[in-house]
Amino acid sequence: MNRPKMVNFKDPETVRDYPMGATCDSDHLTSINAGWRTFRPVIDQEKCIKCMRCFLVCPDGVIDKSGDQLEIDYDFCKGCGVCAHECKPKAINMVKEAING
């Protein structure tokens, strides 16, 4: 998986801990988006023809193509379903998230 990772962020304790300026440094992710999801996209690697369409259309860029197989970063996938809708061989299934599933 080759995607940006969360940083270890501690809440500022004194005024000196605040960054200079109005924002933090770039590439500063302090919370994940996984909790937004109702359905999770699952790639059926047997059916996948690696056309990379899902990688291209993902608004969040969570599909990584650097490995042998396409991989989804579930920390930042919001479960919007664009990838499954655009997948021509229907290799992506939207599976309901469940606590005991």
- Our finding on whether 22 is near other proteins (CB under 8 A) is yes
In the region spanning residues 32 to 61, those forming contacts with other proteins, defined by CB under 8 A, are 32-33, 36, 51-53, 55-61
Q: Rounded to the nearest whole angstrom, what is the least distance from the CB of residue 70 to other proteins in the complex?
A: 11
Q: Which is nearer to other proteins, 38 or 45 (CB)?
A: 38
Neighbours of 85 (CB within 10 A): 12
- Our finding on whether 82 is near other proteins (CB under 8 A) is yes
Q: Rounded to the nearest whole angstrom, what is the least distance from the CB of residue 68 to other proteins in the complex?
A: 13
Task: Please enumerate in sequence order all residues whose Cβ is within 8 A of that of 97, keeping only pairs 6 or more positions apart, or say none.
Answer: 37, 38, 39, 40, 79
Task: Please enumerate in sequence order all residues whose Cβ is within 8 A of that of 94, keeping only pairs 6 or more positions apart, or say none.
Answer: 39, 40, 41, 42, 79, 81, 84
Handedness of CA 86, 90, 91, 93 (dihedral sign): positive
Among 9, 44, 90, 96, binds other proteins (CB under 8 A): 9
- Our finding on whether 31 is near other proteins (CB under 8 A) is yes
- Our finding on whether 85 is near other proteins (CB under 8 A) is yes
DSSP for residue 88: T
